[in-house]
Amino acid sequence: MFTGLSAFPLTPMNEQGIQERELRYLVEHLANAGVDSIGVLGSTGSYAYLSQVERARVAQLSVESAASVPVVVGIGALRTRDVLANAESAQKAGASGVLLAPVSYQKLTDNEVFDLYETVCRSLSVPLCVYDNPGTTHFEFSDELHGRIAQLSQVHSIKIPPVASEVEVARARVDRLRKLIPAGVTIGISGDPVAGVGLSAGCDAWYSVFGGLFPKQALAITRAAQKGDMLLFQTLSDALEPLWALYRDYGGSLRVAGTIAELTGKVSQPCLPQPLKTLQGDSRKRVEQVLKQLGFD
């Protein structure tokens, strides 16, 4: 579950609620493509914008739609009590694992973050993936803190932020972390543009926004890396540079992913929770041009 390609779909929604039919379609599409796991209610799934009831419903629909593919459900929230409630609903829905970021408004200390994971792990019967995402949480894990948390019995994976674009630098970073965590805990890379670098540097999994949209193409990259075919996977990843440029130019992957999903008819418009908006005007036209260039239209 915490190796290979973990594909993260959007949670299609408008201000009236979740677009359930569209969510089912997205999850079924990923399951049919044969991804290794499906990650719902991550940052791409807009978890922070949903109520506990909505999140429980997303978990239920996703597990029902994923067939035999494991579903990992994001449970992060500002208060520990709400994290525990999200964990309970995810497990009740049949999630195979959970994903937890240390969400905060007041900046958290290392001890507070450790206590969060320790408390949550005591309530879990499924594995947990530590979600290290300083871009949204504004909390930076040290490798030492990762090492402490990884000793907790339910922790099975760490989703790290994008690594350096140089393979040797990335490998050194992964090796430092791996020395501090148990052998059974995997390391997964996020940040689609450097996923190939992360996999070649020793990461076990790719936690992928791109995979949530185009699973077959993402699987081709992942399988090439798993087989050690560095030339093929680098070629496949480099070919997507026009898409990676969109991520860089438009503040990350979420608005780009939402725009692509709308343009390709996977979801209706709007698909993001207000005040978030997909790209419009010339920016939207640019995304459309990139899709045509890559043959994804």
Asked whether 91 and 108 are in contact (CB, 8 A), the reply is: no
Average pLDDT, stretch 273-280? 97
Compute the average pLDDT of residues 124-149: 96
Whole-number pLDDT of residue 212: 97
Alpha carbons within 13 angstroms on the beta-carbon side of residue 208 total: 35
pLDDT digits (tens, 9 = 90+) for 21-41: 999 999 999 999 999 999 999
Percent of the chain at pLDDT exceeding 90: 89
pLDDT for the residue numbered 196: 84
Q: Is the pLDDT of residue 297 over 80?
A: no
Triad 203, 219, 221: Cα angle to 5° = 60
Give the pLDDT confidence score for residue 41 in this predicted structure. Answer: 98
Q: Which residues of 193-220 are buried (b: 16+ CB within 10 A; e: fewer)?
A: bbbbbbbbbbbbbbbbbbbbbbbebbbb
> What's the whole-number mean pLDDT along residues 191-206?
90
How many CB atoms within 10 Å of residue 235?
13
CA dist 194 and 116 (Å) reads 29
Q: What is the DSSP string of 152-163?
A: STTEEEEEEPPP
pLDDT tens-digit readout, 71-122: 999 999 999 999 999 999 999 999 999 999 999 999 999 999 999 999 999 9
Mean pLDDT of 154-169: 92
Q: Which DSSP state fits 281? A: H
In total, the chain counts a number of residues equal to 297
Indicate the pLDDT class of residue 167, thresholds 50, 70 and 90.
confident
248 pLDDT tier (thresholds 50, 70, 90): very high
pLDDT tens by residue, 206-244: 999 999 999 999 999 999 988 888 788 889 988 999 999
Looking at residue 115, the DSSP 8-state letter turns out to be: H
Q: What is the mean pLDDT of the chain?
A: 95
Model pLDDT, residue 166: 85
Helix (H, G, I), strand (E, B) or coil at 164: coil
Q: Which of 29, 93, 28, 94 is nearest to 67 (CA)?
A: 28
E strands of the chain, at which residues? Answer: 4-7, 13-14, 17-18, 37-40, 71-74, 97-100, 128-131, 155-160, 186-189, 205-208
Separation between Cα atoms, residue 109 and residue 101, nearest integer Å = 14
